[in-house]
Amino acid sequence: MATATRTTPTAARHRLAALLRPAADTSPLVDGARPMTILEVARRFWPDLRPLRWWLALEVLLLAGAPTIAVLEVMLFQRLVDDVLVPATLGPLLWIAGLYIGLNLLSAIVSGADDYLSTWISQRFLVKLRTQVFSHVLAHPSHVHDRARLGDTMSRLTSDTSAVESFMVGHLANGAGALLRLVAYGIALFYLQWQLALLALVVAPPLWWVSRHFSRLVKVVSRERRRRAGSLSAVTEEQLSNAALVQTYNREDRAIADYQRQNRAIADAELVGARIRALFLPLADLAELAGTLAVIAGGTWALATDRLTLGGLMAFLALLVQCYSPLRSLGNLLPSLHSATAGVERLVELLDEPLPTDAPGARDLTDVRGSLELAGVRVRYPGATRDALWSTSLRIEQGEMVALVGPSGAGKSTIARLLTKHLVPCDGVVRIDGHDLRDLTARSVREAVTLVPQDIALLDATIAENIEFGRPGSSRGDVVMAARRADADLFVRSLPAGYATRVGQRGRTLSGGQRQRIAVARALLRDAPVLFLDEPTTGLDEATSRRLLAALGRHRAGRTIVLATHDPVALEYVDRVVDLGGAPPPPAAPVVADQRPIGVG
């Protein structure tokens, strides 16, 4: 014979923790924040909902109208029993039927208006919130995007924003509606027979206790389920985006095992939630049954002592059955809010990631000539143990074409991020035309400096649209001219659809060299005063590299061009070479980058 054991909330949480072992998460936005209370969540997102407060007030009125109509229908049912069924006369039936039809039509109108308005409010709130979160994520510095897991971030942008909407609009509106229905039904119950109404209330404390007891377990399960869902999205995105790599190394079994492990973890969390519901729902049903039986016993006494008519008792029981539904809804409200809170916390973590902001009084950079300067610059990325740049100084004059060379990790890409204001130096100053970048708006700096990164990013669009991205609204002639300058026009025209050829996600239908030339064409079309190319000849053969570099030299037109490169061919086409050196020197010996002039190619 099996022996039942009593499970305490603490023991259940420990069992849950053992069942759902946390997976490694390399995202910088991990679930380590302090759990938020329901009040903290409401305060955090109320400013976003506040502009809709008058529509919310109208929603509350509609929510109050529905139970009022329901109470009137039940009271009319009492008249039907006492005035038609008991005396067995059809006289009053006509006006009672007319009222029933009228109330039914009114209920349909109120219910339809309530449904439409609640959907309109929730979608307005959700669109605004998702746009706000997306713009926040888009504003993250590039090094933050480099460390984040894209699948997990996408999960937060979609399902976790929906959790905020469920919390602020869905669950709270349902709770308000349940409370209004409970108040309306309660008033009607006390109006019909106050002694029976008091007897019916004995079920409320047990239902509330059961809800409070299990809501804590629900929150633990919900947090784990949300976290695992984010991990599943991250694993899916990572494996599918690197499908060629997985296939090349015959790692399909490993990818499938990782995917299956995350799915099993989600399934485990769902099963734990099912066990909690399996225990909670029978206890709630038992409490409701006890209350109903007590009312039936009291109602028999009320009939026997003429304290209540048969119609009154039937109306009372009908109201009582309807009363238990909002009571259960209120009991479920706390677990539902805790479940939504788990997703809210993940979204708040994302929103709390600090963003770079322009300094107070920052001004736009105008009339750009293109001279660049780094003076005693030191940079260390968040979480890094060593500097990416250390006491580095260099100057590039307007119109120069300069190559930055040095071993990997010497700081060439870091300089690109400094010049586009994706990074701010820990020490030292970065200047354009003598202006400290700290005093300039990031938007105006990025208008002046165009970066072509080593990891080429193309849109899943046509070649023409990818080039036009550099300057929206450009004519087809301008697009073709930019492609010619980047030595891309010939290969583009050889494609079946020419400039209308779609390049696929991240340009994967093109070769590395073709992607490189499309990116350069896009940068040339933008025509910024400063052009920074990070390893521009990667993926190009020597002949193509020479054509591209020669084209850059021919179309400089006073533009300042910086090449971060390991390619010795590129050094033949620049005015100067800046050697960033190797390992960092002792702190007492600041380094000025070695600048060696060479002939123009």
Phi, psi (degrees; rounded to nearest 5) at 277: -65, -35
Same domain, yes or no: 382 and 296: no
Same domain, yes or no: 269 and 399: no
> Are 235 and 259 within 8 A, CB to CB?
yes
Residue 487 falls inside a structural domain: no
Q: Please state the length of the chain.
A: 601
Q: Angle between the 53-80 and 310-351 helix axes, to the nearest 10 degrees?
A: 160
CATH number at residue 69: 1.20.1560.10
Same domain, yes or no: 46 and 169: yes
Q: Provide the pLDDT for residue 142.
A: 65
Q: How many Å from the N-terminal Cα to the C-terminal Cα in the chain?
A: 91
What single-letter DSSP state applies at residue 137?
A: H
Q: What is the mean pLDDT of each run of 10 residues along the chain (601 residues)?
A: 40 44 40 64 84 87 84 79 74 80 87 87 86 81 65 73 79 79 83 78 69 64 67 71 68 81 80 74 71 76 76 78 73 68 76 78 89 91 82 90 87 88 89 92 90 83 90 91 89 90 82 86 90 86 85 82 90 89 50 43 31
Residue 326 falls inside a structural domain: yes
Residue 70 falls inside a structural domain: yes
Same domain, yes or no: 162 and 280: yes
> Are 402 and 396 within 8 A, CB to CB?
yes
Q: Provide the pLDDT for residue 582.
A: 54
Q: Provide the pLDDT for residue 532.
A: 93
> Are 202 and 318 within 8 A, CB to CB?
no
Distance, CA of 535 to CA of 37 (rounded, Å): 50
Helices marked H in 26-92: 38-49, 53-80
DSSP string, 208-224: HHHHHHHHHHHHHHHHH
Q: Provide the pLDDT for residue 11.
A: 46
Residue 18 falls inside a structural domain: no
Residue 15 falls inside a structural domain: no
Domain C-terminal end among 321, 351, 381: 351
CATH number at residue 570: 3.40.50.300
- pTM beyond 0.75: the answer is no
374: which strand partners? 394, 430
Same domain, yes or no: 112 and 154: yes
Same domain, yes or no: 445 and 304: no
How many domains is the chain partitioned into structurally?
2
Same domain, yes or no: 226 and 267: yes
Q: Provide the pLDDT for residue 184.
A: 84
| Sign of the dihedral through C-alpha 210, 215, 217, 221 | positive
Same domain, yes or no: 112 and 159: yes
Same domain, yes or no: 402 and 293: no
> Are 55 and 117 within 8 A, CB to CB?
yes
473 sits in the region (left: phi over 0; alpha: psi -120 to 50; else beta) called: left
Residue 27 falls inside a structural domain: no
Residue 189 falls inside a structural domain: yes
Same domain, yes or no: 308 and 392: no
For tokens 């010939």, name the residue: 490
Q: Which domain holds residue 106?
A: 36-351
Domain C-terminal end among 351, 382, 414: 351
Same domain, yes or no: 154 and 299: yes
* Structure tokens given for 215: 């809501």
The single-letter code of the amino acid at 442 is A
* Exposure string for 323-351, b = 16+ CB within 10 A, e = fewer: bbebbbbbbbbbbbbbbbbbbbbbbbbbe
Residue 314 falls inside a structural domain: yes
Same domain, yes or no: 340 and 250: yes
